[in-house]
Amino acid sequence: MKKRILISQLVTLALLIAARPESWKLFWAGLAVMALGQAVRLAASAAIVKSRTLTTTGPYAAVRNPLYLGTMLMTAGLMLMLSAPSRPLLTAGLWLFAAAAFGWIYYVTIKAEEAFLLSVYGADFEKYKGEAPAILPCLRGAAGFFDLAAYSSEVFRKNKEWRGLSAAAALAAFVAARIHYAF
């Protein structure tokens, strides 16, 4: 999906506007989940050589879309931060909206990317598809996360994941300010 990032940003903005965060406990729990998601994204961005090879090592040994798994965890973390125990209907509505929006965005994106990878890598991609699940990692490939040979600092710099890290930090700071100043 070509407009995936713009649509994701608009959905996130809508969530930030509609939410009424109030809980420091949920903020810190959400920050921990968001940090886990960012760690997955950082690892994936240091392993993937986009448009040049079919990456099947590092986190890609456990899951075909670790960048999207990381994004899913980061979204769950943000949703925890934005949750309001005193407003359960609002919180449930926001979670449903986020799940539907991001579910649709990444379903469409993954299907398009898989069609592309199949057209480029054919049987190699089919084999890989049978070995690694799309989103939820398998245990047999989990060791790939710890295979240091799969990572490259040059690849990491080229993929510019620092932008996502910066955005996550800004989101967390904004939600913290909303809780602290009750706005």
Residue 69 forms part of a structural domain: yes
User: Residue 1: its pLDDT value, please?
Assistant: 63
Mean pLDDT of successive 10-residue segments in the chain (183 residues)? 88 98 98 97 92 91 96 98 98 98 96 96 97 93 89 90 92 98 95
Residue 14 forms part of a structural domain: no
Helices 66-82 and 4-18, packing angle to 10 deg:
10
Residue 99 forms part of a structural domain: yes
Give residue-wise pLDDT tens across range 157-172. 899 888 889 999 999 9
Q: Which domain holds residue 40?
A: 24-46+55-181
Sign of torsion over alpha carbons 72, 78, 81, 82: negative
Give residue-wise pLDDT tens across range 59-91. 999 999 999 999 999 999 999 999 999 999 999
Residue 8 forms part of a structural domain: no
Q: What distance in Å separates the CA atoms of residue 58 and residue 62, rounded to the nearest whole number?
A: 8
Residue 16 forms part of a structural domain: no
Nearest Cα neighbor of 33 from 59, 70, 64 is 70
Residue 126 forms part of a structural domain: yes
Buried residues in 45-65 as b, exposed as e (16+ CB within 10 A): bbbbeeeeeebbebbbbbbbb
Number of structural domains, the chain?
1
Residue 162 forms part of a structural domain: yes
Prediction pTM value: 0.93
Residue 122 forms part of a structural domain: yes
User: Residue 49: its pLDDT value, please?
Assistant: 86
